[in-house]
Structure 1
Amino acid sequence: MHIYLNIVPQAQLDWVRLTTLIEEVNGQRFTDISLNLQLPEGQTLTSTQQHQAEAWSLAVGHPDIIPAERTYLLNLRDTDHLLPGAFRQWAQVIQQHPNCLISLATFDSSIALDPQIQDYLTQHIENRLQTTLHQLVTDRSDTTSAQQLALWGLQNYSIQTNIQSLKYLSQRLRPTGLLLPSMQLFPDIPLVSLQQTLSLLQSATEVIRLHVPTIARQSWTVTTPLRWLSELQMIDLDHLALGWAPLITQYRQQQFNQILNVAGRRQVSTATHLQLLTQIKQTQTPPIHRWSRLGLLRMLSPRVAHQLFY
């Protein structure tokens, strides 16, 4: 069993956050792992950073993955976080269900982790699995690590066979934050892409869903909406497997609306907002509802829509 952890910068590499993520990885004392940093074109490390990467055993470049049974790829951004025990929880599931796509529940990395964990534990206070571990948290000082250990005791997963389910697509289709079986990767498709996960999902017969968060991340819709829009637009509906084109059309409708809703909260610049509106309008995707933002954009110019939404 082996996990390739491929780290990609959200934008310009944040060395401080990368250091934090590497410390979270090393703190788990999990040996069956290879670390890789995949820098965007034009980005390089300084000589000091290169020496530190060597000390971390962090390879730089395109990950060299050797397909094998129970070997997985996990793409994460440098801004993501790992919770204690994550690797061992994944390893246990991989041993039981080798070569299945594994979908991971997550916390939101833009919000303080402590209250999210406490809310989760409070919601599951009646869960029998928590009985002994709740005592552990009570007996010890109420630290984040104690709370995170309590989460581990709540971990459970399900085997999902409803592959063509619009309800669960957002859990299964994302470039980062999924455990991808190496033997099913498509070498001619970028490893960190929506196309890679969609191709893998189309060939799957079941998906394993871990229900208790083991990582913290942010949606690409929020952090990099233009990049996410580009990923959505690169899907070729004419070359999808049987039954997938109508489903992905609906999925893109939902995602376009989410992008418009998030961007409309002035979380992007005026120029970026106009660019998003223009590119979405050029995409031949009908709106879900006539009076949704996507529906209104179909009837308005990008500039008028910008004045209305922004």
Structure 2
Amino acid sequence: MKSLQGARAVVTGGAGFIGSHLCEALVAQGCSVICVDNMCTGEPDNLAGVEQSPRLRLIRHDVTEPFTVDEPVDYVVHLASPASPLDYLRMPLETLRVGSAGTENALRVAAAHQARFLLASTSEVYGDPSQHPQPESYWGNVNPVGPRAVYDESKRYAEALTAAYRRTLGVDTAIARLFNSFGPRMRRNDGRVVPTFIDQALAGEPLTINGSGDQTRSLCYVDDTVRGLLALMRSTAPGPVNIGATQELTVREIAELIAGEAGVELRTVSQQLPMDEPNRRCPDIEMARAVLGWKPEISVSEGLRRTFGWWATAYPQG
């Protein structure tokens, strides 16, 4: 795989949860990074660890509007998009635009510089799957007109556009499908299961479970997610490649783990299952193992311990 030392990468959505961790990792490996983010869901503070580095430059810009880069570029990583249900249900049109116009603008930068382009897609392209675990060959089961479709279909379109740029224009592209990443820098009001449960547990509140809580998720600690993205960046593989953990947990089991880490008795309250919420989610990662030599290394328990440690500093109680 190629070394990142001396390379330059453009990272859209680089001030977000995963994006900021990726920017840090790239800078640590000697890569110059141009972070492009309109702070729609990102936070400048997420980049505090590298904001003084001469290898990081932050540009506030909405990638649904065209942009150019004057310097040579080796990599373009497109992470920009609302990713939590609360965000994309609040901003449905913006989510569709960043998956369509935003993806094409990022692809155009890659094409102009003959750079490798990496799309951060999502397990949500599989919808509520009828095949389990989900291999990359599975085409999915998505409701194209439901409320979640603004995210699911924007990513499916982004994948189609990325593949078309590869076939038609010869752009060196890759697609990563990310599964349920968690860790430090998730917003407390993010709406996804891990930050919601942590915040409720530390506040002494009942944990809110959608439906029966028997639906499953596969939680991948953010450091492992970033290692997978870096491996795919540096490879020649086009993907799609699943990047996620294979330990399948019910939402109720996740609640038990988080209550235990918080040192509180598990109390729950149920609410209606949202429309089109997937019942099962777990990746087949044999392609990532074979092509990238990648697999998750950090257990859910260890990842939660690290996340709680960060949470106590970021969101002190009281």
TM-score (norm 2): 0.28
Which structure is higher in helix share? 1
TM-score (norm 1): 0.28
